[in-house]
Amino acid sequence: MSMNKLAVVALGGNALLRGNQIGTIDEQEQNTFDTLENLVYLIKEGYDIVIGHGNGPQVGNILMRNDAGEHMYQIPQMPLDVCVADSQGGIGYMIERMLRNVLKKHNIQKEVVTLVTCVQVDKDDPAFMDPQKRVGKIYTKEEADKLAADKGWEFKEEVKAHGGWRRVVPSPKPISIMNENVVEALVRQGNIVIAAGGGGVPVYFDEKGDVRPSEAVIDKDLASSLLAARIKADEFYILTDVPYVYINYKKPNEKKLEFLSKADADKYMAEGQFAKGSMAPKIGACLQFIEKGGKKSVITEATKLEDRSYGTKITMEYED
């Protein structure tokens, strides 16, 4: 069994698809290859690695194909949990294949394995009473009303883009990672494991103990953070599109944060320094890892990973 340091790395959506791109497979493969090049540094430093990833644009596209298939060809729509699993498999395959090519380029001998991962949620999580996560395409008010009546979906009005209405689903907190022992065993044997993609497929246990699907999505950073804690990782990384976390962001008194203690991170969260739709969930995921025994969380931009002077490092106390 490997005694190397263990890191869980959560790839942000921009790692696979840039905001100004339409999402062709060529674009996504090149983005993925370029992002994974930055992980070579950790591998050469002797880290064992688990990779998590987002799936927002991809699962949205799957839902749109669902919709088109039903209307044009009477193909039954698949539920959200199947769409999440579909995206996990497709994205995981792409990451695995690109990573094998990166490893070959650098003459690194390692096996890579992708696991479609179920993540347990509480069926009574308050998020089920207040769906907020937008998924899928934008509809007109008439289309949204009909879908709400036919399928029981919930919609919220879009305030961005060109308006319209979009389906919203719950985003419950992850409470356990199924197959976490398998993930830990594989990575401790020196394999690179891709797991809990897109936050994992949300499931719960019914009164009989059977695994049941949940029409929800899970925050991928929270799921990756929980997985990191459960497999006793040393470090947790969130790769995003900025090299640091900031307070007073885009204001005259903007300040980058290179080091954060848990106490200060909690204080800034309480002050509302971090936007709910972007940085706040990432800080929350990093704090969850630290609170559950992790040594260090890092939020940084992928290309800055090797330069340790970049990135916001979050620890229980300030580093020496």
Positions marked catalytic: 13-14, 133, 220, 282
Number of neighbours of residue 31 by Cβ within 10 angstroms: 21
Q: How far is C-alpha 194 from the chain's CA centre? A: 12
Contacts of 91 (CB under 8 A, 6+ apart): 16, 53, 55, 58, 197, 198
- The amino acid present at 160, given as its one-letter code, is K
Parallel, antiparallel, or unpaired: how do β-strands 296-301 and 235-240 relate? parallel
On whether the CB atoms of residues 136 and 67 are closer than 8 A, the answer is yes
Choose among 184, 201, 25: nearest CA to 113: 184
On whether the CB atoms of residues 162 and 168 are closer than 8 A, the answer is no
The widest CA-to-CA distance across the chain, in whole angstroms, is 63
Choose among 112, 63, 98: nearest CA to 84: 63
Number of neighbours of residue 112 by Cβ within 10 angstroms: 19
Tokens 């992980």 correspond to: 39
Contacts of 182 (CB under 8 A, 6+ apart): 115
Number of neighbours of residue 75 by Cβ within 10 angstroms: 12
